[in-house]
Structure 1
Amino acid sequence: MSHRIWLTGAFSLFALFLLWFVSIRQSLLFLVGIGLGAVLAGARFGFTTGWRNLINQRDASGVLAQLVLLAIAAAVSIPLLAAFPGELSAALGPLSISLLIGAFVFGAAMQIADGCGSGTLYKAGLGIPLNMAILPMFALGSFLGSAHLGWWLELGAYQPVSLVSTYGASAALLLTFLGLALLAVMSWLWSKTAPSVKSVWNKTALIGAVLLAILAILNLIIAGQPWGVVYGFGLWAAKIAQAAHLFDPTGNAFWGQPVNAQALQQSVFLDITSITNIGILAGALWISARKNTDATKALTTTQWVVGLVAGFLLGYSSRLAFGCNVGAMVSGISTGSVHGWIWVVMAFMGSLIGVRIRRYYGY
């Protein structure tokens, strides 16, 4: 308990620092990030684990909780985007070859590394050794993926498609709910064939889904943009590379864009995604001070190497796919982006391969 008191004091001071020296928005986003990290860690809300349980055990409880999260977030986010088009933006990504390849690779890599973007963050905050080591590899991969993104997009890309802009809020919401209902029915039918599954509803996961949806909506309202994770990772690595004179963003298709070039020059505390990521780490750390983290078995050298390579691929592929389970799936689908739906299909196909690779290496 004493550890949590000290952490609460430290986080409060940091929030006040952001309020006084940066902005009220960044201070509030840090608090939202703490909430996200605390819920993810406290409920052990794993996007990766939910998919793996559906594939391996035909347990749909985790996936159904994720669909509840998407439904609640969409029910509020899509009308907000339609009502305030100038103040709020959706998580849109181009329909590209890089999206297809990146989402597939990410789906496989996240099963091997046992974590997506948010999963890597909160598990690192819990002090799980593999995820702590994966985090910098994720950042490196995200940076290199962003630096190479221009080349990947030249292979073929179409403009982002927004359901809200194309069809209006009502139709966009209806299409989103129909898509989520279809996925729910498919998951339900898949789980019914597994006699070991006692129930397709998990109370803890559902509570976590509701809380995450509320926090994601708050992130949209406060930041003006949806919840994201991987951009912050790439920015951290890009700043280090630039400071070490290993990277010149001038002329780069991604980092040469005005908004990204500005992010490289200004304090990381001004970056929306970074401050939320820091909050997620803090929230998970706060949870770890309350109770012991799950016991982790010792890994072999081969498992460490495979895990770190998977972590690098997570970063690289997520940049090609314009997001991870959070930025592409949760934020993409809940704000009416077609690329989010494509991401889910390709990432799940990749997960079918990833769970087998994970099993082969004995994780």
Structure 2
Amino acid sequence: MNLKRFGVPAVVALTAALALSSCASNEGGAAAPEESTSTLSGNLVGAGASSQDTAQQSWIAGFQTANPDVTIDYDPSGSGAGRDTFLEGASAFAGSDRAFKDEEVAAGGFASCAPDSNIVELPLYISPIAVIFNVEGVDTLNLDAATIAGIFSGAITNWNDPAIAATNPDATLPDLAITPVHRSDDSGTTENFTEYLGAVAPDVWSYEADGVWPIEGGEAAQGTSGLVDAVTNGTGTIGYADASRAGDLGTVAVQVGDDFVEFSPEAAAAIVDASPLAEGRSEGDIAIEIDRTSEEAGVYPIVLVSYLIGCEQYEDAANAELVKSYFSYIASPEGQDVAAADAGSAPISDSLREKVDAAIALIK
């Protein structure tokens, strides 16, 4: 199942995003029912992963419909910026395409949280990362991990390279330079993508997984929308982005074992359920260690697990109540189905939901 039909508009500027997220959801199709039993009120501020933006707008609309006296602002500023904003106490929750690292959690200093509070990290947005390209006349390619790594490392520079032709005998590959495009910002999508390359093609990709692109040079673009625009408007371009944003671009089926697997919500969910939880985390910190090297049938290993991050204990009780209610809605079957319909994400499994609900119960 390909997600190209789930293309979405580009992310707008910060001021417009905040205005639309808080106003459009109240005034548009998500108008609150005439009578509401909700007693929640207030403003909730979040920031972070741009990959979640479409899902966040749907979640905000649904939550504000049920709770018309609540407004939620989510700034899709990128995972790194979102984590920093949460650390500084300028937001009550963050969206991030990776969990906080062990050393970051140990350092603490989460300004919105009560002293000595643990954080909750909930894997509530699961989506494949698509390798997208723009080559006239070519809609899809089968590529192994070493070839993908060679392209993005600069070792493979032309679309008719023998490594690409070997797994695509029926494709008409042009004598055309490859232009790899990477994120210019600190991005959880980049960290997930580089983690995959290093795990599956270590002989070709010698760089550590990082949210900051590790190679000098090449074409860089800000945010998910910027990268997709750069690939779309270029010639011979290739990049990586949340699969919901693939649109009409060419996409790659990646080799898993002896098969080539196209991205899909089902394949993304399968790799998450086949992967272990990180060790040594607190009860509410559900960080997942994705098994990028899995050869199980039907799994897609270039997957983005994007987290909703909050505090177990908040300095502000009003924030605690709003975050707990909002996270509960996002984790519910209704919230997960809304994101799947609008953003092409993979709904979490029932077994994962049990762990998430237990973590949300800790928020106070």
Shorter-chain TM-score above 0.5? no
Query: Which structure: larger Rg?
Result: 2
Relative to the length of structure 2, the TM-score reads: 0.23
- By relative contact order (CA 8 Å, sep 6+), the higher-ranking structure is 1
Whose strand proportion is higher, 1 or 2? 2
Relative to the length of structure 1, the TM-score reads: 0.23
